[in-house]
Amino acid sequence: MTSSKTHVQTPKIEMTNVHKSFGTKDVLRGVDLTVQPGESMVIIGGSGTGKSVTLKCVLGLIKPDSGTIKIDGTDTTTIDRKDHDTLMGKFGMLFQGGALFDSLPVWENVAFGLIHGHKMSKEEARAVAIEKIKAVGMGERVADLYPAELSGGMQKRISLARAIATNPDIIFFDEPTTGLDPIMADVINDLIVKCVKDLGATGLTITHDMASARKIADKVAMIHEGQIIWVGDIKDLDNSGNEYVDQFIHGRADGPIKKHSDLAA
């Protein structure tokens, strides 16, 4: 699963020295991260260390205080609203909390990007939506339910279906397997691998689930206290030589990462 691309190419995503604070709380303290086209990058790190904020900065949902973020070589921190809307057409995003539209039935949630972004007809979009609903392991009969009628894990999977429905070029998954049973988690892992490998998309996944990380990652980046402290191939994860990474992947309470590091700031 390693990336065999050796020739020089424009990175898909390139974050340089990105800072972001909320009030007095410094969340990102100089994030540098590069993701190559077609690569599947997994970000690991403690709770509250700024993983979700990092993704939202790339998407332009949160404006970084300083630093540059380039997508396909163009700086996105300075583009205007209209170009930003167009840029979003390249992205699919699975939000950590699902973020399904509760006023719309399940199928319209999944078809939303197809109907509004790709101007597909409703009938056609519904057919694609149902196909995606099946791909995330659910039956056609959930299509007409409302998100509030689904369990948490089902909402997560519908949200995943929505993120991949438009076959985006870059897909972000914020904790895709959290709240799923182990079997369903593996179905989702396979689906993510399929999206990234078969469809040639670039993937950026946040996860606490090391089994999932091992399955879907080409590369792993570890974030700690607002900085990327280690990046490497997945095969090097177990002998990274980095004590933070070792503590994290083995889930040990003792080590350089303090128990309350998320409150340290």
Partner 1 sequence: MTVVLNLCSNIGATILGLLSSIGAITAFAGQSVAHIFKGPFFIKNLFRQFIDIGYYSLPVVGMTALFTGMVLALQSYTGFTRFNAEGAVAGVVVLSITRELAPVLAGLMVAGRVGASIAAEIGTMRVTEQIDALTTLSVNPYKYLIVPRLVAGTLMLPILVLIGDLIGVYGGYIVSIHMLNFSVGGYISQTLNTLQAIDVISGLIKAAVFGFLVTLMGCYHGFNSGRGAQGVGAATTNAVVSSSIMILIFNYVLTQVFFS
Ligand X SMILES: Nc1ncnc2c1ncn2[C@@H]1O[C@H](COP(=O)(O)OP(=O)(O)OP(=O)(O)O)[C@@H](O)[C@H]1O
Residues that bind Mg ion (CB under 5 A): 52, 96
Q: Which x/- pattern, by CB under 6 A, does the window 43-82 give for ligand X? A: ----xxxxxxx-----------------------------
Q: Which residues, including other chains, have CB under 8 Å from residue 240's CB and lie 6 or more apart?
A: 230, 232, 246
CA distance 60 to 115: 22
58 binds partner 1 (CB under 8 A): no
- In angstroms, the CA 61 to CA 87 distance is 12
Tell the smallest beta-carbon distance from residue 50 to Mg ion (Å).
8
Angle at 91 between CA 88 and CA 94, to 5 degrees: 120
Say which residues have a Cβ less than 8 Å from residue 214's Cβ, sequence separation at least 6: 234, 237
> 20 touches which of Mg ion, ligand X, partner 1, none (CB within 5 to 8 A by kind)?
none
Taking CB under 8 A as the binding criterion, the range among 31-39, 78-86, 230-238, 248-256 that sits at the site for partner 1 is 78-86
260 contributes a contact to partner 1 by CB under 8 A: no
Contacts of 86 (CB under 8 A, 6+ apart): none
- Given Mg ion, ligand X, partner 1, none, residue 102, with its beta carbon under 5 to 8 Å by kind, binds partner 1
Ordered strands of the 66-71 beta sheet = 25-35, 13-22, 66-71, 74-75
Which entry of Mg ion, ligand X, partner 1, none binds 244, CB below 5 to 8 A by partner kind?
Answer: none
Is 27 one of the binding residues for ligand X (CB under 6 A)?
A: yes
- Across-strand partners of 35? 13
Distance of closest approach, residue 160 Cβ to ligand X, in angstroms: 16
* Residues within the interface to ligand X (CB under 6 A): 22, 27, 47-53, 96
* Residues within the interface to partner 1 (CB under 8 A): 56, 59-61, 81, 85-86, 88-89, 91-93, 95, 97-102, 112-113, 116-117, 162
